[in-house]
Structure 1
Amino acid sequence: MNFKEEEVYEITEIFGNIAHRFSLYRKIGVLAGEAFDTMGMKTMQFIRTPCGWKISSIAWDDEKIGLAIPERYRK
């Protein structure tokens, strides 16, 4: 599989030992012989530990018919 993903825009907020990152991404590649070029959003949560920041969760969804990325994230 040929695949590339890049972050296009992000908002990161930190409060004490917790953080949240909302990220617009673009992914391009070929899967099962079919080319694709799409965008989506990820949400990532982090906690600060004595060893540094650690990911506590990640979730994502791709843009599709009926689910458009809001313009405020397309800066």
Structure 2
Amino acid sequence: MIKKLLLLVLISFVSVNIQSQEKGKDAAKDYTENVLTIDSTINSLYAVISGEKGKKRDWTLFKFLFHPDGKLITSGKNNERAFQIRYMKPDDYVKSSGKWIVDNGFIEKEIHRTVDAFGNMAHVFSTFESFHSKTDEEPFMRGINSIQLLNDGKRWWIINVFWDNENRRNPIPRNYLPK
């Protein structure tokens, strides 16, 4: 009888221990370090969307970088050649671009940055180059991300990322390129 009771206690202990380890794996990651400074926030933005073909992205971190009302804004011409902008929440960006960047590989590298800050707000002009793989010698795209940030006293939040891509009619100005 005592052996059965000890065996039952041991089985219960092992079961509870396994369950708590599994819950620990599912516990939310602490991304606080990613948003303590402007630099860590911008670096995290580039790091989270970048990766080789087939590499999963941490979309939870991506969404964590943005203020609840934060937006991503892209610009360009539509099929009728009219200029337009498109507003996206982080979830919209993941739905529209997430699969493509994983399937094709997408590495976005910042090559130049200017920062203007006042009080609890900051504006970052971040020039980027995009590659499909780290082994690519030439980028397939370049442009500038205009990133607005807010510090609420605890962390930096991305309010907006508004970008435009370079083309032959719209080259990146020298003052936004590495010296």
Q: What stretches of structure 1 move > 6 A for 4+ residues in a row?
A: none
Matched, 1:45 2:176: no
**Paired AA for residue 69 in structure 1:** I
* Letter paired with 1:45: Q
Cα offset, 1:74, TM superposition = 1.4
Q: Which runs of 5+ in 2 are unaligned?
A: 1-103, 134-138
Q: Tell me the equivalent position of 1:16.
A: 119
Q: CA RMSD in A?
A: 1.5
| Aligned counterparts of 1:65 and 1:10: Cα–Cα separation in 2 | 22
Comparing 51-60 with 19-28, which one deviates more in the overlay?
Answer: 51-60
| Higher-helix-fraction structure | 2
Quick check: 1:59 aligned with 2:162? yes
Which residue in 2 is equivalent to 1:33?
A: none
- Higher strand proportion, which one? 1
Q: Whose Rg is larger?
A: 2
Structure 2 letter corresponding to 1:8? I
1:25 aligns with 2:137: no
Partner SS state of residue 27, structure 1? strand
Q: Which has the higher contact order (CA 8 A, sep 6+)?
A: 1
Question: Tell me, which stretches of 5 or more residues in structure 1 are unaligned?
Answer: 31-35
CA-CA distance at 1:50 after TM superposition: 3.3
- Percent identical among aligned pairs is 29
Aligned residues: 70
Aligned to 1:68, the other structure's residue is in SS state coil
